[in-house]
């Protein structure tokens, strides 16, 4: 069995080599020649699976993407060729939500507001949006959801049109797939008119796909409007608009979901799916079994936590400024931009999720809300 994997897929080489001969390559530059005699292909979001890539795929029977988004894969084409396709829905929802929380906490400190006073609009209430909603509820932060597709499916949560979120929310955070067709396409969901209608002082966060927010519209608005923008994804990535970059409060190279737990979940979800495909159930693994202990595994509270304690706790896990600083340093070398974008992603540090830290203390110190936020707690 020949298995081709993206070289930027933690745990994949060890796991898949139990099932066949593994070759690891850079996902962004895979060619159809790379697929000759390959039985199974394991990718990330940077590999476009289309007619051109599949042209010489003479043995391909399985494609797995260790990602939540699937806009890079022509799933209909795979189905028409009898190639099984699987993704990793929800694998990195925790990482993305913790990215948004970090951005909000740091901005609250920089701009001098309390996160408890902000109303957040979540656009896209799927795996990431719903998990983020749970986290915001844990922190008693008011938020509104927009997801016309879920609403139409009969999801009983309260949903609002995007226009309502734009008019009422202080923060708008995007967690939709990238779609160009259908009743609710997300390509340029935030264009000139939508961005212009944001409340003065609004914060816009895009950790979905770059083209959900129009690059030109955002740039124009940042020149004239009182607006803070945080981008983890870019309309033309790995190209980064060097006029836009300095206008952003935080900018990161598509790593919002890059927690170690999330990557382990992504890899094991497609690995387990491949085991099932091969009828080899006994080789399946649990993502948690692959993870090392966190560098600071336990902390103790000596009093009920307040916003600055929360910031300290969350920063033990993730501070968006770390990735932002490294990204800006790397992007400064314009010649190397594309390569640096992928290098930062490939050599990403071992970022963890809140659950990797146990917070000890008394129940009266607010342990329940920390547990709801994702921390492991101990009374």
Ligand X SMILES: NC(=O)C1=CN([C@@H]2O[C@H](COP(=O)(O)OP(=O)(O)OC[C@H]3O[C@@H](n4cnc5c(N)ncnc54)[C@H](O)[C@@H]3O)[C@@H](O)[C@H]2O)C=CC1
Query: Which residues contribute to the annotated binding site for substrate?
Result: 45, 67, 258
For residue 214, state whether it binds ligand X (rule: CB under 6 A).
no
Stretch that binds ligand X, among 173-181, 276-284, 354-362, 366-374 (CB under 6 A): 173-181
Task: Give me Rg for the CA atoms of the chain.
Answer: 21
SS3 call for 292: coil
Among residue numbers 301 through 340, which ones bind ligand X (CB under 6 A)?
none
- Minimum distance between the CB of residue 171 and ligand X, rounded to whole angstroms? 16
Q: Confirm if 89 and 127 have CB atoms less than 8 A apart.
A: yes
Estimate to the nearest angstrom the gap between the alpha carbon of 141 and the chain centroid. Answer: 21
Active site annotation includes 184: no
Which residues are part of a known binding site for NAD(+)?
127-128, 147, 176, 232, 257
- Minimum distance between the CB of residue 46 and ligand LXYGBJRG, rounded to whole angstroms? 5
Cα-based distances in Å from 195 to 31, 103, 112, 183, 224: 38, 20, 23, 21, 11
For residue 254, state whether it binds ligand LXYGBJRG (rule: CB under 6 A).
yes
Tell me the helices (H) and strands (E) count for the chain, helix number first.
14, 14
**Residue 351 is encoded by which pair of tokens?**
């970022």
For residue 92, state whether it binds ligand LXYGBJRG (rule: CB under 6 A).
yes
Contacts of 292 (CB under 8 A, 6+ apart): 260, 350
Among positions 184, 187, 188, 321, the unique one binding ligand X when judged by CB under 6 A: 184
Report the half-sphere exposure of 6 (CA within 13 A, side-chain side): 26
Active site annotation includes 237: yes
- Minimum distance between the CB of residue 162 and ligand X, rounded to whole angstroms? 6
Report the candidate in 123, 72, 141, 102 with the shortest Cα–Cα distance to residue 255.
102
Spatial distance between the Cα atoms of 252 and 322, rounded to a whole number of angstroms: 9
Catalytic residue, chosen from 194, 235, 237, 326, is: 237
For residue 267, state whether it binds ligand LXYGBJRG (rule: CB under 6 A).
no
Catalytic residue, chosen from 44, 175, 209, 345, is: 209
Binding site for ligand LXYGBJRG (CB under 6 A): 8, 44-46, 67-69, 92, 254, 257, 345
Active site residues: 209, 237, 254
Residues within the interface to ligand X (CB under 6 A) = 68-69, 89-90, 92-93, 96, 123-129, 146-150, 175-179, 184, 186, 189, 207-209, 232-233, 254, 256-257
């Amino acid at each position: 069995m020949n298995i081709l994997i993206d070289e930027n897929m933690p745990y994949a080489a060890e796991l898949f080599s139990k099932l066949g001969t593994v070759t690891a390559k850079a996902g962004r530059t895979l060619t159809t020649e790379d697929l000759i005699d390959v039985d199974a292909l394991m990718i990330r979001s940077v590999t476009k699976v289309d007619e051109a890539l599949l042209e010489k795929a003479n043995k391909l029977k399985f494609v797995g993407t260790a990602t939540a988004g699937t806009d890079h894969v022509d799933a209909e084409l795979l189905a028409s060729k009898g190639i099984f396709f699987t993704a990793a829905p929800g694998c990195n929802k925790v990482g993305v939500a913790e990215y948004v929380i970090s951005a909000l906490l740091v901005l609250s400190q920089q701009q001098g507001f309390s996160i408890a006073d902000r109303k957040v609009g979540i656009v896209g209430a799927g795996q990431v949006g719903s998990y983020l909603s749970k986290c915001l509820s844990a922190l008693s932060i008011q938020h509104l959801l927009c997801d016309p597709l879920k609403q139409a499916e009969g999801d009983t949560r309260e949903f609002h049109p995007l226009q309502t979120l734009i008019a009422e929310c202080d923060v708008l955070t995007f967690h939709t797939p990238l779609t160009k067709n259908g009743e609710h396409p997300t390509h340029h969901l935030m264009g000139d008119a939508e961005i212009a209608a944001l409340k003065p002082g609004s914060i816009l966060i895009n950790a979905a796909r770059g083209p959900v927010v129009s690059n030109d519209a955002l740039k124009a608005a940042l020149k004239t409007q009182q607006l803070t923008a945080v981008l983890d994804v870019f309309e033309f990535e790995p190209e980064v608009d060097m006029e836009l970059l300095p206008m952003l409060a935080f900018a990161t190279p598509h790593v919002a979901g890059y927690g170690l737990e999330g990557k382990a979940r992504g890899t094991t979800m497609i690995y387990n799916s491949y085991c099932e495909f091969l009828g080899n159930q006994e080789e399946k693994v649990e993502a948690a079994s692959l993870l090392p202990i966190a560098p600071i595994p336990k902390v103790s509270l000596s009093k009920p936590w307040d916003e600055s304690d929360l910031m300290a706790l969350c920063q033990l896990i993730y501070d968006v400024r770390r990735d932002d600083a490294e990204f800006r340093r790397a992007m400064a070398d314009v010649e190397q931009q594309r390569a640096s974008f992928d290098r930062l992603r490939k050599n990403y540090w071992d970022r963890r999720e809140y659950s990797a830290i146990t917070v000890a203390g008394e129940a009266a110190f607010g342990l329940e809300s920390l547990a709801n936020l994702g921390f492991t707690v101990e009374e």
